[in-house]
Amino acid sequence: MSTRPPIEFVVNETPVVVDDDSLTLLDVLRDQVGVRSVKDGCSPQGQCGCCTVLVDGQPRVSCVTPIRRMQGRSITTVEGLDGDVAEAWGNAFAATGGSQCGFCTPGIICRYEGLREKGASHEQRQPAADALLAHMCRCTGWRPVVDAWVAFGSAPAPPEDDGGAAIRAELEGGVAQHVGARVALGQGVFADDTAPADALVAVPSPESGGWLVAPSRSQALREVGKVQGRRTTAEFDPPLNVPDGDWALTLSTSWVEPAYLETDASWCEPGGEPASPLANGGAFGAKVTSEVEEVARRLADEHGRAVRVLYSREDAVRRGPKRPPIAAGLRSDGTGVVRVVRTTGVGEAMSSVAPGLIVEEVDVAGPPTSAAIRGAGWVEAEVLLAGLRGEVGWITAPGGGKATASVAEDGSISVRVQCGAPLDATVLRSYCTGAAHMALGMVTSEFLSVDQAGEVHDLTIRSFGVLRAVDTPPVDVVIEPDEGVPVNGSDAVFAAVAAAVWISRGLPPRWPCG
């Protein structure tokens, strides 16, 4: 604790006094002032933009802003925006599908407010895309987020949801989700947002292999000796070699990080039920087996009071499951061999799509993998078969949704999807655009550097290769008429776009292919 004079500033027109000048602005806003719209997606990397606020009217990333620099300043979060301005932003994001889980959008809205302060025109998309260079969004594929900038001030209030939007969001995201304008304003009810203010905080302790428990997140991280993650400049080959054979087509892939923005979090009261880390987002299947719920339950019982269990970004990278790498060789008749990092269920998923493939599971040192990751196994099999044909055709996902896709010479992507009654076309189109963005990144840019000993060397959120807004081409989604039972559509889109992109690039034998 510092012996310097207290730091005095204003948050949303309310005076705040802080004695500890070692804290960050993010620490103070979330854990002392109780502002929950400000999210922690990568602290202290300063790379995801989820904690962006306005300091004297200018956007600033709060996780790398020392609180000692806030003396006499005025901080505004989305809670402090004028009511009509906040309502206009909520309406714009709801009308365009620019918010799904809603974890990134409060920071983006603050960034957009800074852009409005500079007098940028809402008729121009490029200033918004450029402003988003400071942000990450994994759900929407960026295009709807830029659409929200254009729609500001002209989007009507969303109609009362008859349940269709929520049902469609649950079908696409895999878990029940909150929808609507309030989600974009940070009210998605994420696990850590609902924790009691006086809860203890537990973080992984690399030294002990267990959990360090402290009165606050900042103190826990100090005591555990956490340092900022890094990004490597070293290059590592894919972990598996293509089997020997006379193949018509080969493909090898690397580890891929799901890159969900809300890192694993839970909390629990003694004897209670822990908060789910899936509170408002499915994390593309990566949190299905997260340990944080059971850890929260156990530590709450041990300490006799509420405990929050939190992953840092680096913890999520090291401990969370990845997309299992493959190395495949196919003959022209669709038979062949595919090697995959040993992952329960992935072999079966591949064989269900391509029964002519012999699947060999291989033990490889590296981060954990999971068949629950979006489309793991069956997507790769569908893409390989499409590569042999030289065309995408209609791809049917295990859940019944169908999609096809094509890539134009300028890189723009066209998608057609059929998945039963749309229920809410805006929500469905948003999820399909996000799936297209993820597929494009998987084929062209996304990977993790993992050495032969299995250590992950890419630990910053910018090192995963997720495409930025300025790098994302136009994505046009056509929803085919269908009054059948609603089913997931975005997983089929993910597979179809991955196949279309790979074919358009000339079927290079390694992903990412640039």
Asked if residue 232 lies in contact with residue 457, where contact means CB atoms within 8 angstroms, the answer is yes
359 & 395 share domain: yes
Q: Which of 188, 215, 248 is the last residue of a domain?
A: 188
The rounded distance, in Å, linking the Cα atoms of 40 and 107 is 10
Cα pseudo-dihedral 318, 319, 320, 321, rounded to 10: 90
CATH, residue 411: 3.30.365
463 & 333 share domain: yes
3-state secondary structure of 510: strand
Please report whether residue 509 resides in a domain: no
Please report whether residue 376 resides in a domain: yes
What is the amino acid identity at position 74? Answer: S
DSSP type of residue 509 = S
The rounded distance, in Å, linking the Cα atoms of 355 and 422 is 32
Please report whether residue 255 resides in a domain: no
Range of the domain at 499: 326-504
The rounded distance, in Å, linking the Cα atoms of 316 and 363 is 22
The rounded distance, in Å, linking the Cα atoms of 175 and 442 is 23
148 & 279 share domain: no
448 & 331 share domain: yes
CATH, residue 108: 1.10.150.120
The rounded distance, in Å, linking the Cα atoms of 256 and 446 is 6
Please report whether residue 196 resides in a domain: yes
336 & 462 share domain: yes
Asked if residue 76 lies in contact with residue 52, where contact means CB atoms within 8 angstroms, the answer is no
Only one residue has tokens 């895309």, namely 129
Outline where 8-53 has alpha helix (H).
25-27
Nearest to 423 by CA among 374, 482, 477: 482
364 & 459 share domain: yes
What was the pLDDT predicted at 225? 85
What was the pLDDT predicted at 1? 47
Asked if residue 462 lies in contact with residue 441, where contact means CB atoms within 8 angstroms, the answer is no
The rounded distance, in Å, linking the Cα atoms of 376 and 487 is 18
85 & 57 share domain: no
The rounded distance, in Å, linking the Cα atoms of 101 and 191 is 12
Please report whether residue 239 resides in a domain: no
Please report whether residue 406 resides in a domain: yes
Nearest to 411 by CA among 494, 499, 505: 505
What was the pLDDT predicted at 92? 97
- Buried b vs exposed e over 269-292: b needs ≥16 C-beta within 10 Å? beeeebbbbbbbbbbbbbbbebbb
405 φ/ψ sector (left φ>0, alpha ψ -120 to 50, else beta): beta
How many Å from the N-terminal Cα to the C-terminal Cα in the chain? 48
The number of domains in the chain is 4
489 & 380 share domain: yes
Asked if residue 425 lies in contact with residue 394, where contact means CB atoms within 8 angstroms, the answer is no
Helices and strands (H and E) in the chain: how many: 14, 17
Asked if residue 222 lies in contact with residue 304, where contact means CB atoms within 8 angstroms, the answer is no
The rounded distance, in Å, linking the Cα atoms of 492 and 394 is 9
357 & 483 share domain: yes
3-state secondary structure of 105: helix
What was the pLDDT predicted at 207? 81
In a structure prediction context, what are the per-residue pLDDT tens digits for the chain, which is 514 residues long? 446 789 999 999 999 999 999 999 999 999 999 999 999 999 999 999 999 999 999 999 999 999 999 999 999 999 999 999 999 999 999 999 999 999 999 999 999 999 999 999 999 999 999 999 999 999 999 999 999 999 999 998 887 767 899 999 999 999 998 899 999 999 988 999 999 999 999 999 988 889 999 999 999 999 998 777 777 777 889 999 999 999 999 999 999 999 999 999 999 999 999 999 998 888 999 999 999 999 999 999 999 999 999 999 999 999 999 999 999 999 999 999 999 999 999 999 999 999 999 999 999 999 999 999 999 999 999 999 999 999 999 999 999 999 999 999 999 999 999 999 999 999 999 999 999 999 999 999 999 999 999 999 999 999 999 999 999 999 999 999 999 999 999 999 999 999 999 999 999 999 999 8
Residues 6 or more apart whose CB falls under 8 angstroms from that of 309 comprise: 202, 203, 211, 264, 265, 266, 267, 292, 295, 296, 299
CATH, residue 43: 3.10.20.30
Q: In what order do the strands lie in the sheet with 265-268?
A: 211-214, 200-204, 307-310, 265-268
32 & 109 share domain: no
Tell me how many degrees the CA angle 431-435-438 measures, rounded to the nearest 5: 140
Outline where 323-466 has alpha helix (H).
346-353, 378-389, 425-444
Please report whether residue 126 resides in a domain: yes
Model confidence, pTM? 0.96
430 & 447 share domain: yes
What was the pLDDT predicted at 258? 97
Please report whether residue 177 resides in a domain: yes
305 & 211 share domain: yes
